């Protein structure tokens, strides 16, 4: 089923002249649609990055880092 060649493709999988003629009227519309989708995705990505940069995390409490001496003592006690 998937191994059969389409009548619109050559054995090297290029489009035949008939397929190129059939796709030609849609080339400009497809290019415009692609550019609009790319621009929209870029705008959403840029907006989300800018929104995160503006966020202030001062109200989030940060836990104190563990002291290395306590953790080293626990490891030595566990080995004994």
Query: Is the pLDDT assigned to residue 47 strictly greater than 80?
Result: yes
- 60 versus 33: which is more confidently predicted? 33
- 28 versus 75: which is more confidently predicted? 28
DSSP run (H or E) holding 52: helix 27-54
Residues near 8 by beta carbon (within 8 Å), at least 6 away in sequence: 15, 16, 18, 19, 22
**Taking the model in full, what pTM does it have?**
0.51
* C-alpha–C-alpha distance, residues 13 and 11, integer Å: 5
* C-alpha–C-alpha distance, residues 20 and 18, integer Å: 5
Nearest to 46 by CA among 34, 38, 56: 38
Task: Give pLDDT tens digits for 5-36.
Answer: 777 777 777 888 888 898 899 999 999 999 99
- The rounded percent of the chain whose pLDDT value lies above 90 is 31
Residue 69: its pLDDT value, please? 61
Residue 28 corresponds to which tokens in the numbers above? Answer: 């400009």
């Amino acid at each position: 089923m998937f191994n059969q060649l389409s009548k619109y493709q050559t054995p090297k999988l290029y489009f035949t002249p008939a397929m190129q003629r059939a796709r030609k009227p849609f080339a400009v519309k497809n290019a415009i649609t692609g550019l609009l989708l790319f621009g929209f995705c870029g705008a959403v990505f840029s907006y989300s990055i800018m929104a995160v940069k503006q966020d202030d995390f001062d109200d989030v409490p940060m836990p104190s880092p563990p002291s290395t001496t306590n953790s080293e003592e626990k490891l030595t006690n566990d080995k004994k």
